[in-house]
Structure 1
Amino acid sequence: MIEEAEKKKLYDAVVRYGDEEVLQKWLVENPKQVGEVSFACSRNLLHLAAMHGHENIVDVLRSHRQLARDLDSQNSTPLHIAAANGRIFAASKLLLIAPETCWWRDCHGMNPVHVAAVNGRVSILEEMFRVNSTPSMERVHRGETVLHLCIKHDRLEALQFLVDKLGELVCAKNDDGDTILHLAVRFNQPQTIRYLVEDTKIEKQARNSMGKTALQIWKESPDISNYSEIEKLLKIPSTKKISKVFPNLSDMTMVVVGLIATMAFQAAISPPGGVWQEDTTSHKAGDAVMAYTHPKLYKQFVRVNNTAFVSSIITIFLITTRQPSGRILFLLISLFAMWVSLASIALSYGASIMVVSPSAETQSQSLVPVIIIVVVVSLGIIGFIFLYSIVREWYLHRTNDPAIEKIEASTNKVLSQVSFVVRGSESAQWL
């Protein structure tokens, strides 16, 4: 057993004075008792050295590796203590001595990365990320990420550092469906809200498990001192509203325009009616039969087929540039090129049917009504979506009725199903 007077002497040497000579002398005289020395909260000598940041004491104790793995009454390692107190030197040494303690959790379920974030210790976070960034991906109670912890403890500087390193976690939700933007609004942190909206890719319209967006939570807040400023930040800009009306330029769009380009290319090298197989006085082998049997129609066929091919290539190029969908000019050009390719390949199909059909007049008469119906229905759906979007924004801007919000959610669900069916039917048509 270690006497109280001896323990107090060690405590003063480690905590008050940072006297390494006293400590080294005691370690030489009692090499097997270093692990038995325990102070308040079951902390050992390295816990105390990490807490008070005496670099020389940490250097002396780093050869005793087991001390770095000991837990105090809060299940905290010396690395947890160094992270909480911002002791960068101690943390760097402890990461070398026992790097596995980066994963260990204290009684609150937090590893040293979480502890550093909660206390706003950016320098500690930088050192930990230099050694191993994986522990930062661990979640704590109720599925909260390290970014959620930064919001809950109002640590903006730590949040900014972590967002730069963990961009993929920005839109992560906890078990309540809250993103970090939901929490920033709920805890009334205007500076954090501004940073998230302006400098990250946070999704402002994300809904939590209660079906509420960050803007809806803000409207329920009793603090209205800077209401208009935050409301302006949380609202979707008009360009992004327009981009949400149209289908996303997704992989499905790439499949469709790729298929159209393939069809147009195939039609160019193998036109309807085939090609002449041998040379004669009136034509050469490889010439399109349609060019001689239907010369006027063939010219129109070539024009629309070329248009379909070129517009498809333009659409593919625009999508592969991965420009943000909020850029309205980019979005409109892409959608216009896609619609041109769809219309052109439809006309090319109609010309092909008229050539190969025994009764071209009958086919023409049956094809025209179908084209008219498709055009009218498509324009009607687009017009309805535009009209609904305008009326919804106008009305919701003047009311915060929960009943209206429920109607809005139901209508959005119906619209998404309609959009899915329309896009599925278009894909099926070209396939």
Structure 2
Amino acid sequence: MLKKAAKNGRVDVLYKLLAQDPHLLEHLDSMLIVDTPLHVAARAGKTHFAMEVASLKPSLAWKLNEDGVSPMHLALRNGHVETARGLATVDCKLIRVKGKERITPLHLVAEIGDIDLLEEFLLSCPSSIQDLTVRRETAVHVAVKHKNLQALKFLFGWLHRQNMESILNWKDEEGNTVLHIAVLKNDPKAVELLINNVDNHAKNGNNMTAMDIFESQCKSQNGEIGDILHRASFISSFLNSLIRKRDHYLGFRVAPQGPEIFTIDTRSIILVVAVLIATATYQAILSPPGGYWQDTYSPPENSTNSTTNDIDEEQRGSHQAGTMIMNAFESSYFALLNSSAFCASVCTIVVLVMGLPFAFFLEASTLFISCSYFVSLLTIFPYSDRTTVCLLLLIGVILACVHLLAFEAHRRKREKRKVGKYQWKYQLFTLNPGQMCENSSKFFSFLWRFLLKPSPKASSSLEYPPL
């Protein structure tokens, strides 16, 4: 009787049966594997009945039936999205229920490719992105495996917006990253999206990189994938390697315990020391040892009737007011050593703040102060020794390259954060009038979500996703 009421969505019958037997739902709860009325309602898409049962007995929403699936799994597999949404409002942790083969509802949504539901699930339960199947596959692996590009784009952008992009390098049971799978599935668009953001030198369980996989299956592979892999940017590889090593050694992420793993406190100490060195070296240029000449002097052409004071001036040689008093040898070594220390400290600061909030403004500030340093150096440097000037130019070029690298990292981070964001916003205007009429309901749904939906920051404190 109860299952029949669930199939028809009769909430009134549910309460009549509970009035006759208040322990009716508790009997079902005592069984480990059981097809509950909640499963029946979810399979039939009876949202209100399912929410009533889940509210009365929340533990039933976690039960698996003989097929190894929960009610939310059933709702998604049968296309009843609203029922899945309703169950998520009862308990957002239902998104992490592990069914047969440890597949969660988030894995199913990534397979289906419902971007709206994917966004709501991740907003409600961000930690669900870390759930793995029995094959150690994340939702990103599932999206790539089923060639669901829109879901991949959304997950890719979301991971970068949440600073969880290291998940892109997680490996499944065969040691494959999402890039390996994209090549195996012969999906050039996925490869193009991932190539500069995933470690393309990573090897799977067969000791093969993504390029090795392409070459081993060259006859059946799309030639475009080979072009993408060959064009993999050296700058991207260097940037990714630099940031991974920095994060590993400075404790930005969870790392294995070991004697050489530094903490966040160590990062702060390094940053303070680098700032002190940069300040000291910059001040040394403004106030060099021995000071500056206070006047301008040039030896006279005719010195036959020179007095003793004139002879002393001639021995000093010609000089300009505002230049260093030190001679050529001393000033050359001072400029080189001081500039090397300044360059090293500024490079350390730039690398440490790379990728952090407001990093762009900090990197711009260090660029401006670096330019003013070298302008000051050229202004007060009295001698034009070719070797010294070349070495100073080399130091300046190194510093400029580090700043350019930092700005490139910032630009790439901004681009990654935009991927998969507001998909409808960019796709809406490509529809023709006929499609607009056919998708009017989606159009108004878009307006509702885009204009009235709470911001992620405001909604993150909720226990369930906004509907």
**TM-score interval, normalised by the smaller of the two chains:** 0.5 to 0.7
Answer yes or no: is the 8 Å Cα contact 1:258–1:312 preserved in 2.
no
Following superposition, the deviation at residue 157 of structure 1 comes to 2.8
Kept in 2, the 8 Å contact 1:113–1:128? The answer is yes
User: For residues 11-31 of structure 1, what are the alpha-carbon distances to aligned partners after superposition, in whole Å with 9 as ceiling and x for unaligned?
Assistant: 3x433x444455454444444
Partner of 1:362: none
Q: Does 1:58 align with 2:50?
A: yes
1:214 aligns with 2:205: no
- Equivalent residue of 1:46, what SS? helix
Give the 3 Å change call, closer, same or farther, for CA 223–297 of structure 1 in structure 2.
closer
The residue that corresponds to 1:416 in the other structure is: none
Does residue 1:46 correspond to 2:38, yes or no?
Answer: yes
Counterpart residue type for residue 87 of structure 1: H
Once the two structures are superposed, the pairs formed by residues 238-277 of structure 1 within 5 Å of their partners are 240=235, 244=238, 262=280, 265-266=283-284, 269=287, 271=289
- The structural deviation recorded for 1:32 is 3.2
Structure 2 Cα separation of the partners of residues 234 and 302 of structure 1: 47
Return closer, same or farther for 1:311/1:90 CA change in 2, 3 Å cut-off.
Answer: same
Is the 1:142–1:174 Cα contact (8 Å) retained in structure 2? yes
Q: TM-score, normalised by structure 2?
A: 0.51
Alpha-carbon shift at residue 36 of structure 1 (Å): 5.0
Paired with 2:83 and 2:109, the residues of 1 have a C-alpha distance of: 13
- String of CA shifts for 1:204-230, please: whole Å, max 9, x gaps: 333334332212201211644632x11
Q: Does 1:160 align with 2:153?
A: yes
| Alignment gaps of 5+ in structure 2 | 250-269, 292-308, 314-323, 356-362, 395-467
Percent of aligned pairs sharing the same letter: 23
8 Å CA contact 2:51–2:90 kept in 1: the answer is no
TM-score normalized by the length of structure 1: 0.55
Please give the residue correspondences for 1:281-320 in structure 2 after superposition, counting only pairs within 5 Å: 295-300=327-332, 304=336, 308=340
When the two chains are superposed, the root-mean-square deviation of aligned CA atoms in Å is 5.0
Q: Structure 1 stretches of 5 or more lacking a match?
A: 1-5, 276-280, 284-290, 324-329, 352-367, 376-431
Q: 1:298 to 1:212 in 2, by over 3 A?
A: same
Q: Deviations over 1:114-141 (max 9, x none)?
A: 2332343444333322321112212232
Answering whether residue 179 of structure 2 is matched by residue 181 of structure 1, we say yes
CA change 1:191–1:85 in 2 (3 A) is: farther
Q: Deviations over 1:331-357 (max 9, x none)?
A: xxx9xx9xx99xx9xxx9xx9xxxxxx
Map Cα deviations across residues 67-99 of structure 1 (whole Å, 9 max, x no partner): 323331244322232343343332233234344
Partner of 2:137: 144
Q: What is the aligned length? A: 308
Alignment of 1:8-407 (within 5 A): 10-11=3-4, 13-15=5-7, 17-34=8-25, 36=27, 42-65=34-57, 66-167=59-160, 168=165, 169-197=167-195, 201-221=197-217, 223-224=219-220, 226-227=222-223, 229-237=224-232, 240=235, 244=238, 262=280, 265-266=283-284, 269=287, 271=289, 295-300=327-332, 304=336, 308=340, 322=354
Distance 2:159 2:242 in 1: 25
Moved more, 78-87 or 181-190: 78-87
Q: Distance in 2 between matches of 1:93 and 1:248?
A: 44
